[in-house]
């Protein structure tokens, strides 16, 4: 992963930040290339009858313990990245009752927002989402950006920043060829 030529790329991004309303209206389609986060992955397991949803939403486990739990499911259909994404989500989001009021109805349950939800919510008001989702970075680099002066004002808790980082470490670094044309504007050549 090469780093963007900062000044030029950033200036170009900032000139092209306003998404046309039509894009926002079709949100689901335009952003379909961004991989599912833990909330959606869990919803699919619930819908498929693979887990006892009442037990999952009420249980606190570490990331490693959740990973073990997910590996033990038969026919989960999850690949390694999805399993890791879901384990990180479950470790920071369960028990779900602790996130009351910050949930999205999924598979008939109120599930806490995941890193993808938070990225879409908080990371595209100043620049296009492409700036974020095409970067392949370490945890330190993600948290470093979010704690920079240009980002520290964003109204997210440290726990939410960690959730965003957890998701992006595993799911960021999307190739620009996989980003829809309308989201490539603004000189995002990396
Ligand atoms: C308040 C406006 C604002 C919001 C909201 C915002 N950004 Fe940024 N972002 C900027 C600005 C300004 C730059 C270019 C200057 C800089 O890098 O500090 C930038 C650049 C970036 C870059 C490339 C340069 C770098 O520092 O790594 C990344 C990656 C990034 N933002 C990630 C994020 C993420 C993740 C979020 C959501 C948590 C987010 N941004 C939300 C203002 C914002």
pLDDT for 134-163, tens place per residue?
Answer: 999 999 999 999 999 999 999 999 999 999
Tell me the residue range of the domain where 95 lies: 38-112
Q: 136: CA distance to ligand 1 center in Å?
A: 14
| Same domain, residue pair 155 and 65 | no
Please give the Cα distance from 155 to 146 (Å, whole number).
Answer: 11
Over range 84-112, report the average pLDDT: 96
Residue 57 in any domain: the answer is: yes
Instruction: Verify whether ligand 1 is closer than 6 Å to residue 15 (CB atom).
Output: no
pTM for the predicted model, two decimal places: 0.86
Residue 190 in any domain: the answer is: no
CB burial of 119-132 (b: ≥16 within 10 Å; e: otherwise) equals: bbebbbeebbbbbb
Identify the domain boundary among 112, 135, 160: 112
Assign 18 a pLDDT band (cuts: 50, 70, 90). very low
Instruction: Verify whether ligand 1 is closer than 6 Å to residue 148 (CB atom).
Output: yes
Identify the domain boundary among 78, 97, 112: 112
Residue 188 in any domain: the answer is: no
Over range 27-55, report the average pLDDT: 93
Instruction: Verify whether ligand 1 is closer than 6 Å to residue 162 (CB atom).
Output: no
Q: Taking 90 as the threshold, does the pLDDT of residue 15 lie above it?
A: no
pLDDT digits (tens, 9 = 90+) for 46-67: 999 999 999 999 999 999 999 9
Residues in the chain: 190
Assign 29 a pLDDT band (cuts: 50, 70, 90). confident
Over range 58-82, report the average pLDDT: 97
3-state secondary structure of 182: helix
């Amino acid at each position: 992963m090469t780093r963007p030529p900062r000044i030029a790329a950033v200036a170009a991004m900032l000139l092209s930040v306003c998404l046309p309303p039509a894009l926002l209206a079709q949100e689901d389609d335009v952003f379909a290339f961004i991989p599912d986060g833990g909330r959606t992955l869990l919803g699919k397991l619930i819908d498929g009858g693979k887990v006892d949803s009442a037990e999952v939403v009420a249980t606190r486990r570490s990331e490693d313990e959740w990973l073990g739990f997910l590996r033990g499911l038969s026919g989960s259909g999850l690949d390694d990245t999805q399993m890791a994404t879901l384990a990180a989500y479950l470790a920071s989001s369960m028990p779900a009752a602790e996130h009351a009021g910050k949930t999205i109805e999924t598979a008939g349950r109120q599930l806490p927002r995941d890193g993808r939800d938070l990225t879409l919510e908080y990371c595209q008001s100043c620049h296009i989402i492409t700036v974020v989702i095409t970067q392949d970075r370490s945890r330190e680099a993600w948290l470093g950006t979010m704690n920079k002066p240009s980002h520290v004002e964003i109204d997210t808790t440290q726990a939410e920043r960690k959730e965003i980082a957890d998701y992006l470490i595993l799911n960021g670094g999307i190739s620009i060829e996989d980003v829809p044309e309308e989201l490539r504007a603004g000189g995002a050549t990396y």
